[in-house]
Structure 1
Amino acid sequence: MTSSTDTLTPTAVRPESKFRSYTRLGKLDVYDYYLSILVVLSAVIVPAGRFGPATAAMLVAFLLGEIFVIMALVAFDDLTGFRDGSDIANYGPDNPLRMKLRKPLVAGTLTAREALGFGWVTAAIGGALWVGAIALGPHRAMWTVLLIAVLYVISLQYSYGIKISYHGFQEAFIAALGVALVVAPYGLATGTFSWFVFVQALLFGAGPLMFGVYSNTNDVEGDRAVGRPTVAALVSPRGNAIFVGSLSAAEFLIGAVASASGIAPWWFVFLMLPATVLRARQYFLGFRRDDIMRARKLGFVVHRVSVVLLIAANLLAGWGAAA
């Protein structure tokens, strides 16, 4: 019996080194999730008494583990997308805006077996590094340890194993991953839960979520063809536009409610306004100018600006508390 992978023929492109293909498979050029550690660092470095060698070592180990776990996640995602044909459709000759080399399986520069091996090796290394981060951390509250364990297991199931993203939870997962990557190392560093840091984690998770929903808008036909139930694939174009607009508004409201309620300093919502303006610009590009791919690209800028603003907020709040 012929397997589904045997019936798919990747599109051959110019050859490149295996190392380069593996870095593409691991999406090392997309570092936006990894910025979570800078948000945590800014939250614990002031006042100075909370930051020491144990915290520094833990943050380094957690970051390295994060990199390897996410490399495993995206490798498994590419493998599943190749096997079910969605990546062939979304990165094929009918979609010249997508660079085929970013998908080594579609490009034919890696085999499915090589991608699977890469996924499991990086998953093992990432898991070991997170165990090391727990051991190095100055605090090991049970809720933090459990959060990291759940984060690890669920990350590998995003589009492999139980395939969370194929059961209607893709958008929620993308956001929750970003939230956990802030809350977990903060818990290891301080042993406490902070509502202000949680608000920052929500805003951090919104970044990957937003360029995810713009990608889904572009990939709607391929996702529908393989039964991947993203919101864009399930609703009408107008419904999807309303959904994305609601997420954009919610991002602003999170900061506004946090400032109004006292969870965050009163000035927090005003500090985050540059990101709010850019988010509005992103929506205008995507759903008024109908330029989804430019809007998706702008989403990376919005997220990175937001991270800089979150770091500034933590430093300002920390200096105020230390004064």
Structure 2
Amino acid sequence: MTPHDFQAGLRTAGAGRAEHRLRSYARLGKLDVFDYYLSILVVLAAVLPPLARSGPATATMLVLFLLGQVCVIMAMVALDDVTGFRDGSDTANYGPDNPLRNKLRKPLVAGTLTVRQALSFAWATALAGAVLWAGAVAVAPHRPLWAVVLTAALFVVSLQYSYGLKLSYHGFQEAFLVWLGVVLVVAPYGLAVGRFSWFLLVQGVLFGFGPLMFGVYSNTNDVEGDRAVHRPTVAALVSERGNAVFIGCLSAAEFLIGAVASAAGIAPWWFVLLMLPATALRTKQFVTGFVHGDIMRARKTGFAVHRVSVALLIAANLLIASGAVA
């Protein structure tokens, strides 16, 4: 079977499971993966006292920032799908040899959208994201230069993640995912309160570990497709054992970030204890993936880890705001 015949077969399969065009666009923008957008709840919990004083300005800024965030991330993942379809990696990773992957989640592979439609969607959502983030900065109670620069940089870099400069094809994928989480927490916080917080930076890094750990487990599953197109994820560059060690180190580092922050006084002394449920789930994820060998179930567990972690970060901020603990 030629590559053309293979892709034609995928399109036929996709056509046999036809769905509404709007549903395909929602899949292209990965709207069902809302975990990126939970960052605004972390920020909201951290700025409750300033929010009470500044009123509508902060609330409006947070709403605009969230809407812009949704648009920018939809543009980013749509462009990622375009590149993955063009270079064949998505076709390989979602092909018949990988029955655990739902092809409809990749509308270009399934044939429910064309590349032209995907690009139009990506640039339209990117433009909307730029306008919304500009509006968020315009109405923000504070505009520290570092927060404005971070927001603008995230917009530019997100569109270059897998398209244009293709940063994820040059070894920056894992670092970008953490940086994405950091900016989505510290930038709106800076716009709300006008100052930098080392504790919010710690929270941003921990939030970024959610997308990071989704990514590294996905990369473990997609290693052959990524190697075929020379996409240098860690999983594609090292041995299977080396990748397991790398992910184990990341899992340990996530705990150590909270532990060091508590020990150094950046975070409250009890913060590392509060985060232990997330640490336990992260350990379970690693065991599922690399002891039991079920990478895709481990990836799914990663979403639960991230959501629990976000809930705990929110709880930490609310405890501090209420003055219930020292």
TM superposition score normalised by structure 1: 0.96
Shift of 1:322: 10
Aligned partner of residue 11 in structure 1, secondary structure: helix
Q: Residue 11 of structure 2 corresponds to which residue in structure 1?
A: 11
- Structure 2 regions of 5+ residues with no counterpart? none
1:143 maps to a residue whose letter is W
Which structure's residues are more often helix, by fraction? 2
Check the 8 A contact 2:278/2:309 in 1, yes or no: yes
Deviations 1:107-133 (A, max 9, x none): 000000000100000000011000000
Q: Distance in 1 between matches of 2:227 and 2:208?
A: 25
Task: Report the identity percentage.
Answer: 73
From the superposition, tell whether residues 118 and 261 of structure 1 become closer, same or farther in structure 2 (CA, over 3 Å). same
Is 2:285 the counterpart of 1:282?
yes
Q: Distance in 1 between matches of 2:227 and 2:105?
A: 22
Alignment partner of 1:105 out of 105, 108, 118: 108
Q: Residue 211 of structure 1 corresponds to which residue in structure 2?
A: 214
Q: Residue 32 of structure 1 corresponds to which residue in structure 2?
A: 35
Q: Residue 62 of structure 1 corresponds to which residue in structure 2?
A: 65
Q: Residue 83 of structure 1 corresponds to which residue in structure 2?
A: 86
Alignment partner of 1:163 out of 151, 166, 174: 166
Q: Equivalences for 1:213-252 in 2 at 5 Å?
A: 213-252=216-255
2:84 maps to a residue whose letter is G
From the superposition, tell whether residues 66 and 19 of structure 1 become closer, same or farther in structure 2 (CA, over 3 Å). same
From the superposition, tell whether residues 26 and 94 of structure 1 become closer, same or farther in structure 2 (CA, over 3 Å). same
Shift of 1:46: 3.2
Q: Residue 306 of structure 2 corresponds to which residue in structure 1?
A: 303
Shift of 1:237: 0.4
Alignment partner of 1:92 out of 71, 91, 95: 95
Q: Distance in 2 between matches of 1:43 and 1:5?
A: 52
Q: Distance in 2 between matches of 1:29 and 1:133?
A: 24
Q: Distance in 2 between matches of 1:196 and 1:118?
A: 37
Q: Residue 74 of structure 1 corresponds to which residue in structure 2?
A: 77
Shift of 1:142: 1.0
Q: Residue 55 of structure 2 corresponds to which residue in structure 1?
A: 52
Number of equivalences = 320
Q: Distance in 2 between matches of 1:114 and 1:142?
A: 36
Q: Distance in 2 between matches of 1:137 and 1:6?
A: 53
Alignment partner of 2:270 out of 247, 267, 270: 267
Shift of 1:11: 3.1
Q: Distance in 2 between matches of 1:5 and 1:68?
A: 33
Aligned partner of residue 23 in structure 1, secondary structure: helix
Is 2:174 the counterpart of 1:193?
no
TM superposition score normalised by structure 2: 0.95
